[in-house]
Amino acid sequence: MNPVTTAPPPRRLRADAARNQQRIIAAARELFADRGLEVTLDDVAERAGVGVGTVYRRFANKQELILEVFDQMVTELAQAVETALHHPDPWQGLVDLFEYSCMHMAGNRGFGEVILEMHDSMDRFVCMRERVQPGMQAVINRAKDVGALQPDIENGDFFAMVNMVDAVAGFARPVNTTVWRRYMTLILNGVRGDGVARMPLTEPALTEQEVEQAKSAMSACRKR
């Protein structure tokens, strides 16, 4: 009888190496949020306060780092879905999850770009969908079951609505970083059930001057 062999467990990183890795990932998340995926590993090293060689020892290329950041973001989103699913108020659970999703899109230039990047790594993209979509569907179903959400709203609508808010956030970002909340509220008021109180619009609309400034910023960006 051949003896059973097992693969050795993965080596744990030394404490200083583990700290450096977390600093690198945190720096990458900040830079991707601020500037999108155009940043380099040199930029990440500078933000993290480590040598470039340290970054390359942990991540062979930027794609590897993007995937690591993406995995963290999906894990956090899955946790938000789980929290929403167990909220005692199904409508508030949906609102909290929608706000979480919009907030992370609105303040994060890189998240949408990462989603697009995932199409080059379809296994990761499918994994994300399998981890998140069933829980989101359950959150939506709970809200519909108690009459808090219009009965014809589907899972795909959730993602579409988040992207609608993100489009407004992207347009207004150069002049107003919080107005997206106004449109998030407008959308939620549009899909709520008849028995749910309308949410107040706490954010003022863009001024005419802000609209013109945002249009100018968009035009300048396209010319680059």
Percent of the chain whose predicted confidence (pLDDT) is above 70 = 83
| Domains of the chain with bracketed CATH | 13-60 (1.10.10.60), 63-223 (1.10.357.10)
Between 43 and 106, the more confident residue is: 43
164, two tokens? 């609608």
Q: What is the pLDDT at residue 11?
A: 52
Out of 76-80, 105-109, 120-124, 146-150, which region has the weakest mean confidence (pLDDT)?
A: 120-124
pLDDT in tens, 134-158: 999 999 999 999 999 999 999 889 9
- How far is Cα 183 from Cα 97, in angstroms, rounded to an integer? 15
Alpha helices in 13-89 (DSSP H): 15-35, 41-48, 52-58, 62-85
Nearest Cα to 188, choosing from 98, 104, 101? 98
Please name the residues in contact with 177: beta carbons below 8 A apart, sequence gap of 6 or more: 106, 107, 169
Residue carrying the six token digits 């744990």: 12
SS3 192: strand
CA angle 201, 203, 204 (to 5 degrees): 100
What is the greatest pairwise CA distance in the chain?
81
> In the structure, what pLDDT confidence band is assigned to residue 204 with cuts at 50, 70 and 90?
very high
pLDDT in tens, 8-66: 555 555 677 788 899 999 999 888 888 878 889 999 999 999 999 999 999 988 888 88
Whether the per-residue pLDDT at 7 is higher than 90: the answer is no
